[in-house]
Amino acid sequence: MSTLKNSTLLIADVEAFPKGVSLWQDGWTRLRKNRLAMLGFFFLALIMFLALITPWIAPYGYEEQNLRLGATPPSAAHWLGTDNFGRDMLTRILYGGRVSLMVGFIATAVALLIGVTYGAIAGYVGGRVDAVMMRLVDILYALPFMIFIILLMVVFGRNLLLLFLAIGAVEWLTMARIVRGQVQSLRQQEYIEAAISIGLGPGAIIRKHVLPNVLGPIIVYTTLTIPNVMLLEAFLSFLGLGIQPPESSWGVLISYGVESMEEYPWLLIFPGLALAMTLFALNFLGDGLRDALDPRTSKD
């Protein structure tokens, strides 16, 4: 009689315990609680949606000029004003967003892929291999990046894909360095040694143990890289190496705006705001993700 009673109690007790949660589920829950991060998330979603449907919602053509109109401040016909050629700024900012976001994400993805793989391997394996790999990074770092890009642009012609690759090919270096540094310090942790001792191969260890713990800095640095890439693209376009008119990106719009900043400030303010807010959103989201995914800052 007593045993049966005990069993019933046990089952009821078990159901009263909370269910186990994976790192990611826990992360998502915590992320949701972070107001700023969610704000950033939704803003980004909005921007990306707008970028996607731009061809359908833009009020004018982005290259449509109205020379006699020239630059005008915001009005009913042109919500965000017009530029020197009489082109509608709202349209140009929308289209510019498409380009900027594309460049930002794709180039960062390229950098991420190469950089993380490279850095993880170097940091994990250590020793000779690490030394050689990092020397390679140093060499590439020291290469005159401008010449490299100029050459690429000139030899292979100007196209967007090449721009992505060129920028990504430069950004991965820093990613690799940071990842390698993190992996290196993690490598010394006991649980890694434990994993090795139970026979896990390096690939599995990197995937299951190292990378998730390195993810925090990776995410932070990625959200830092995207804006960096977008600014890099702006700088290149500023020099005349990037996006060609009449196309434009936020970076180009900003550089045009700087030229006329005193006479026509709206040419700078609106693209600047667009870029800044997107970057804010990315950063808040990145921060939120980092806090959400770091098991050590978990509240329980």
Does the N-terminal peptide bond of residue 246 adopt cis geometry, omega within 30 degrees of 0? yes
> Cβ distance 230 to 151 under 8 Å?
no
**Stretches 21-29, 102-110, 142-150, 199-207: which one binds another protein (CB under 8 A)?**
142-150
By CB under 8 A, tell whether 290 contacts another protein: yes
Q: Give how many residues touch another protein by CB under 8 A.
A: 76
Count of other CB atoms within 10 angstroms of residue 122: 25
| Closer CB to another protein, 79 or 247, in the complex | 247
Residues 104 and 85: their CA atoms lie apart, in Å, by 27
Residue 60 is given by DSSP the state S
By CB under 8 A, tell whether 259 contacts another protein: yes
Tell me the helix, strand and coil percentages in the chain, rounded to 5.
Answer: 75, 0, 25
What is the nearest approach in angstroms of another protein to the Cβ of residue 11? Answer: 37
Residues 253 and 95: their CA atoms lie apart, in Å, by 11
How big is the chain, counted in residues? 300
What is the nearest approach in angstroms of another protein to the Cβ of residue 4? Answer: 45
> Cβ distance 35 to 291 under 8 Å?
no
By CB under 8 A, tell whether 142 contacts another protein: yes
| Closer CB to another protein, 91 or 255, in the complex | 255
By CB under 8 A, tell whether 224 contacts another protein: yes
Residue 82 is given by DSSP the state B
Amino acid at 160: L
| Closer CB to another protein, 91 or 174, in the complex | 174
Single out the residue of 55, 59, 203, 240 in contact with another protein (rule: CB under 8 A). Answer: 240
Q: Quick one: 35 exposed, middle or buried, by C-beta within 10 A (0-12, 13-18, 19+)?
A: exposed
| Closer CB to another protein, 9 or 273, in the complex | 273
**Stretches 24-32, 43-51, 135-143, 192-200: which one binds another protein (CB under 8 A)?**
135-143
* Binding flags for another protein, 150-189, as an x/- string (CB under 8 A): xx--xx--x--------------xx--xx--xx-xx--x-
By CB under 8 A, tell whether 255 contacts another protein: yes
By CB under 8 A, tell whether 26 contacts another protein: no
Residue 62 is given by DSSP the state T
What is the nearest approach in angstroms of another protein to the Cβ of residue 50? Answer: 19
Residues 181 and 123: their CA atoms lie apart, in Å, by 7
By CB under 8 A, tell whether 263 contacts another protein: yes
> Which 74-133 positions form the footprint of another protein (CB under 8 A)?
84-85, 126-127, 130-131
